[in-house]
Structures are given as C-alpha cells and as structure tokens.
Amino acid sequence: MSEKPEKFIDENGLRLDGRKIDQIRDIKIEIGILNRADGSCYLEFGNNKIMAAVYGPREVHPRHQQKATKAIVRYKYNMASFSVEDRKRPGPDRRSIEVSKVSREAFEKEIFTELYPKSAIDIFIEILQADAGTRTAAINAASLALADAGIPMRGLISSCAVGKVDDTLILDLNKDEDNYGQADMPIAMSTDGKITLLQMDGHLTQEEFKKGLEMAQQGCREIYELQRKALIDHYNNTQKEIIQDAPVESVKDISTESATEEDPIEDPVISDDVPDNGNTVNDDEIKEDIPDEKEEVILDEDEDNPAIVSDETEDDTLE
C-alpha cells in the first residue's frame, strides 16, 4: 500500500497521475470477446480491468423468483482474489452485494423487461484488476455487453465518479485519491440524462454537491461518446468481415457525398438530407461525423491528387 501523498494537486493544477481535475482516465473497450456469452465486453478504465458478460433472457432458476409480467435482472459484481494488492477473500461479501444491488437498479429501468415475462437477464461482472471506481467501470462495461446481447434498452448507461481531495472537486478518482480523499460520489446516467445511480461517501457541501454532480454528468457524457464509438466500430468491422460490400457504409457515403458536392463552410447534411427522407438523426451524431469526414476529404484533394498528377506528368516526360 502506498502512503498518503502530501499534496494531491500540484502547483500546475495537475493530479498525481498527471491528469487535470476534470479529466477522466483512458478507456479501452473490446466488445464481444466471450464466445459462449450472449453479449460481452472487456473494458480498461485507467488501471481497472473489467470483464462483463450478459446471458439471456433465459429461464429463471429458482423458479419462484420469476415474475409473471416481466423479466428479472440479475447483476453479479465479483472481484477476483488477485484484483487488489492484498489478496481478497473470494466470494460475495457485504461490499460486492451492495454494489450488485445498486448497479442492478441502475439498469432495471432502462431495459424493456416487460417484453420478456417469466425470464431472467443475467449480468456478470468480473473485476480482474481494481484501481478505484470499479463499480462505475463495471456499469460502463455491462451497458455495452447488454447492447451486444441485443437486449432492448431505452438507452446506454454511462457511469463516472466525482470526488474531493485537498478541498478540490476532481473527476474520476484513482486509488490514492479514493483511499485518502475527502469524498467519493459515483453516478450513473442514461443517454437522455436521467440519473440511475447516485451514491456518496464522505462529505460535500451543498454547493460542492451541485458542482460535483455537473462534473460527473459531463464525465458520463464523455464516456457515452466512447461507448458509442466502440459499438459503431465493432459492428462496422464485423459487418465488413461477414459481407464484403457492407451496407453499413451508407452513413459514411451520405456524409462524404454531401461534403464534396456542397460548400464545405455550410453544414450541408442538416439542410439537405434530413427533411428529404423525413428522418431526424441525433444532432450529436451529425456534428460528430461530418466535420471529420470533411477534413479527410479536403486533405485528400489537397495532398494526394496533386501528387498523383505530378507523378504522372513526370513519368510521361521521362518516357
């Protein structure tokens, strides 16, 4: 175990691991890595390493737990004995039962359980390496595993913690900040901004709570974008592997076409495509996709084409 640091935030406003106070740790996501699970996700969140698996909807055992009108959601959060510095005694304990309960409740209302009466949706979380904020990381992983399992949901769940060290609010605590800090407040949020989990350990004033909640919500939104990207990348890639000419490409096609045809200063997609097909796409999605595509296209024209032309002319003159 490390000693309590003298200062959590240095004179430049950076934390022990070099992050800014409102910066989340790096996230690495892999979807669909377990063959035998209906949906799965491996997620690294800083030094946390989490495996999530989803099974079902399937038959409920023991039978008396089943509900006649809806599916039950079962969430099992488990820490591997090697996940922490001192060996953890394996099996469920007071803490993991509590984490399982609050996390289950974070998902229950977002899943369309009424579509699958008399069945169970099982979510298994395995903490392979822990470094504070495992419950938030686990929720992020479970959300993606549920999406991978094709379970109908009202939205994805993103989760992030906010805490207080040296009387300063910081986003996404790491281990030292969690162990020696003054407060820790994990939240989970749905796509449309509903808070589905909120816990607090330590003390925050009312003002700090309000500011902290906003910071954590911002963190959740950042994580949502990463989750979104991971899902899109995963399914676009698997599509390409299965079918050669993947129809998923059409999103890109539309945006590149409109970017090349129209004046790049204007935002062409909103004015052109949307009313035409009577299809309103998520505004965020458009903002996300288009600028990137435009940049790429312009770069291609500027750099590649002149190069090719000049090459050809050189060749011609040589011959």
Partner 1 sequence: MKDKDMDDTLKSEESVLPESHIFVLPGDIIGTVEEFILGNNTFKHGGNVYSTTTGEVNINKKNHVISVIPKVGIPPMIENGDIVIGRVSDLKNAIALVEIALIEGKGEREIVNNQQAAIHISNVKDKYVKDIYYEFSQFDIIKAKVIDTKLMRLSTSGSNLGVIKAYCRKCHVILTKPSGNENKRDKLFCPVCGNYESRKLSSEYSGPAA
72-79/119-129 β-pairing: parallel
**Closest separation between CB of residue 173 and partner 1, Å?**
27
Q: Is 154 in the site for partner 1 (CB under 8 A)?
A: yes
Among the listed residues 74, 124, 68, the one whose alpha carbon sits nearest the alpha carbon of residue 104:
74
Binders of partner 1: how many residues, by CB under 8 A? 42
DSSP 75-112: EEEEE-TTSSSSPPPPS--HHHHHHHHHHHHHHHTTB-
Q: Is 57 in the site for partner 1 (CB under 8 A)?
A: yes
Closer residue to partner 1 in complex, CB, 84/251: 251
Q: Is 268 in the site for partner 1 (CB under 8 A)?
A: no
Q: Interaction with partner 1 in 30-49: which residues (CB under 8 A)?
A: 38-39
Closer residue to partner 1 in complex, CB, 253/303: 253
Closer residue to partner 1 in complex, CB, 38/176: 38
Q: Is 260 in the site for partner 1 (CB under 8 A)?
A: no
181 Cβ partners below 8 Å, 6+ apart? Answer: 8, 163, 164, 165, 173, 202
52 Cβ partners below 8 Å, 6+ apart? Answer: 40, 41, 42, 43, 123, 124, 125, 126, 138, 141, 142, 144, 145
3-state percent helix, strand, coil for the chain, nearest multiple of 5: 45, 25, 35
The single residue among 150, 214, 271, 307 that binds partner 1, judged by CB under 8 A, is: 150
Q: Which range of residues in 75-83, 198-206, 275-283, 298-306 is near partner 1 by CB under 8 A?
A: 275-283
Q: Which range of residues in 6-14, 126-134, 143-151, 174-182 is near partner 1 by CB under 8 A?
A: 143-151
Sequence-ordered alpha helix ranges (H) in the chain: 94-108, 134-148, 175-180, 206-242, 250-261, 268-277, 283-299, 305-318
Query: How far apart are alpha carbons 53 and 33 in whole angstroms?
Result: 9
Q: Is 236 in the site for partner 1 (CB under 8 A)?
A: yes
**Closest separation between CB of residue 152 and partner 1, Å?**
4
Among the listed residues 41, 104, 50, the one whose alpha carbon sits nearest the alpha carbon of residue 233:
41
Binding to partner 1 by CB under 8 A, coded x per residue (else -) over 189-208, reads -xxx----------------
Q: Which range of residues in 75-83, 132-140, 164-172, 229-237 is near partner 1 by CB under 8 A?
A: 229-237
Q: Which residues bind partner 1 (CB under 8 A)?
A: 38-39, 56-59, 112, 116, 119, 147-156, 190-192, 228, 231-232, 235-236, 239, 247-248, 250-251, 254, 273, 276-282, 285
